[in-house]
Amino acid sequence: MPDDALIDSLFAADLPEVGEWEHRHPPRDLPDGAHVTRFAPSPTGSVHIGGLYVAMVCRDLARHSGGRYLVRIEDTDRAREVPGALDQFRRAFAWAGLDADESVDAGGDHGPYRQSEREAIYHSFARHLLREGRAYLCFATREELAALAARQESLKVPTGYYGEWALWRDADPADVRAALADGRPYVVRFRSPNEAGRVRWEDAIRGRLEHEANRNDVVLLKASDQSPRLPTYHFAHAVDEHLMRVTTVVRGEEWLSSVPLHLQLFTALDVEPPVYAHVAPLMKLVPGGKRKLSKRHDPEAAVDYYVEAGYPPEAVLHYLRGLANGRLAELPEAEALATPLALNQFGSAGPLVDLPKLDDLSADHVARMSGPEVVAAVSAWAHTHDPEVAEVLAAEPELALRALAVEREGVDNPRKDLRTWSGFRAAYGFFFPQLFTPLSGPDDERVVAAGLPGGSARPFVADLVAGYRPLDDQGEWFDQIRRAAARHGFAASPKEYKRDPDAYVGSIREAAQLVRVAVTGSTRSPDLHAISGAIGADEFLRRLRPLT
């Protein structure tokens, strides 16, 4: 029988009983069918886009069912904690708008929401299991554990700390008291049922599942010579899900093998387990097949990739919902974001992360925004990621609005060349004198690369500059280019030029492209007439003059 006096001496004299924690964190008063979900990041690195995906699912389930969504920081692995990881987490989830009902920042009645601040709670439950004989003290050293594992391998039996291999599972109480008197460090281990066979349960995504039963006496509380004395992940999981009254645990499929142990722990604590929903990992297509999206190898695996690129968060959330349910990717954004997610509609195969699809959704989102909304969004992003663009937009707000109006306002099919805020410089930078580098002359590399007649076209450009007028009518405006080109050896049409190329400098197409390259720096751009109106006649002519 457990020695309660000895067990109690291992913990603080004023440590509350388990019943006190149950009283402080009673069952939640929520509607029938309400989900209480949690996202539990560990500050051991940057946030994976898969984390954002799971958090989105958790929040959606809770919000659409009248439940609660909480964020719990699992910071018990002090050795692997990365400085600044929690601040990065906060920034990433603030960017995505995935606010929690309960968290370290939001507070709540079922906290603390940082595991390192729940030490007393874990100690109470560990003491309870020791008193019940469902846990025991283990003084095995690292060397003894290594020797045990080597012996198991030589005998070709499963490695682990279980049954006859559990050195302290059935130790003589006198030996335990002697080890304590000697000040030997110890851990608290779970006395597993040492079950054989397989465990079956119902997964909310995958249906009926089974797995080999757990027989290991896993560690519940880490070594007694550590301070603070924190729990292992498995023990904290069982205690926290119960006291926080979590009903639905959404997590990655890599945790499937832990379910048998977790169910044993809930049974040992005499509490109901939550419903588990194990999502498939996000995948990436690679030569020869596909693999899991990896933060180590794939930049797009990190949430910061999307933040730094300047994807609108609404588009990213639309995209992630489409990964959860392909039907949502085909719905308009507002409808897709409002449609509740259903776990029974998730697939068990990992969805492929397809950035071109995200780019399309993002371009659609930007195309629906007004000019002022785009300027505000780009400015906010650029303040951190491209200060020069931020300064230009602050100095030239009206020019920015004129630029954004080109082929976007008053048209049935607006331009969709802006997909991310980082793309603003490439798509619209040429409108701004501060961001545009004029041609150096007729032999500028941009003219040469386009195969245009720079030097031989000087008389044409000089003629155009001399007689240029900023006309409102697009046809009349372009006629200026057409007439000047005809006066200086350009064919009126590509077909005419093709019939006798030696008779001409080029065709009207080359003449127009030369003007385009001078004004925009590229052979591809929106309508030249609209650009000329946006930048104004003085700037239009300033860019042409190097060719004269």
pLDDT tens by residue, 161-218: 999 999 999 999 999 999 999 999 999 999 999 877 899 999 999 999 999 999 999 9
Model pLDDT, residue 30: 96
Model pLDDT, residue 410: 85
Is residue 471 one of the residues assigned to a domain?
A: yes
Q: What SS3 class is residue 107?
A: strand
Model pLDDT, residue 80: 80
Model pLDDT, residue 247: 98
Same domain, 243 and 191: yes
Report the half-sphere exposure of 13 (CA within 13 A, side-chain side): 0
Same domain, 382 and 454: no
Given phi > 0 = left and psi -120 to 50 = alpha, else beta, which region is 270? left
476: how many CB neighbours lie within 10 A of its CB?
11
Range of the domain at 386: 369-430
38 DSSP β-pair partners? 70
Same domain, 176 and 145: yes
Tell me the average pLDDT across 341-354. 92
Rounded Cα–Cα distance for residues 72 and 102 (Å): 8
Rounded Cα–Cα distance for residues 189 and 169 (Å): 8
The pLDDT tens digits for 125-165 are 999 999 999 999 999 999 999 999 999 999 999 999 999 99
In the predicted model, is pLDDT for residue 294 greater than 70?
yes
Clarify whether 295 is annotated catalytic.
yes
In the predicted model, is pLDDT for residue 1 greater than 70?
no
Model pLDDT, residue 194: 82
Peptide bond into 332 cis (omega under 30): no
In the predicted model, is pLDDT for residue 40 greater than 90?
yes
Q: What SS3 class is residue 468?
A: coil
The pLDDT tens digits for 368-385 are 999 999 999 999 999 999
Give the mean pLDDT of the chain: 95
Task: Please tell me the total count of domains within the chain.
Answer: 3
Same domain, 173 and 272: yes
Rounded Cα–Cα distance for residues 220 and 190 (Å): 6
Rounded Cα–Cα distance for residues 247 and 273 (Å): 8
From the list 292, 295, 357, 416, the catalytic residue is 295
Question: Comparing C-alpha atoms, which of 347, 330, 329, 328 is closest to residue 339?
Answer: 328
Same domain, 528 and 496: yes
In the predicted model, is pLDDT for residue 79 greater than 80?
no
Same domain, 170 and 231: yes
The pLDDT tens digits for 392-417 are 999 999 999 999 999 998 888 899 99
Peptide bond into 185 cis (omega under 30): no
What CATH number did the domain enclosing 147 receive? 3.40.50.620
Same domain, 396 and 266: no
Asked if 389 contacts 382 with a C-beta cutoff of 8 angstroms, the reply is yes
- How large is the angle between the packed helices 397-405 and 371-385, nearest 10 degrees? 120
In the predicted model, is pLDDT for residue 45 greater than 90?
no
70 DSSP β-pair partners? 38, 102
Model pLDDT, residue 37: 98
Strands 68-71 and 36-39: parallel
Model pLDDT, residue 2: 78
Name residue, tokens 């054989």. Answer: 196
Model pLDDT, residue 196: 78
Is residue 303 one of the residues assigned to a domain?
A: no
Same domain, 383 and 502: no
The pLDDT tens digits for 502-517 are 999 999 999 999 999 9
Same domain, 536 and 393: no
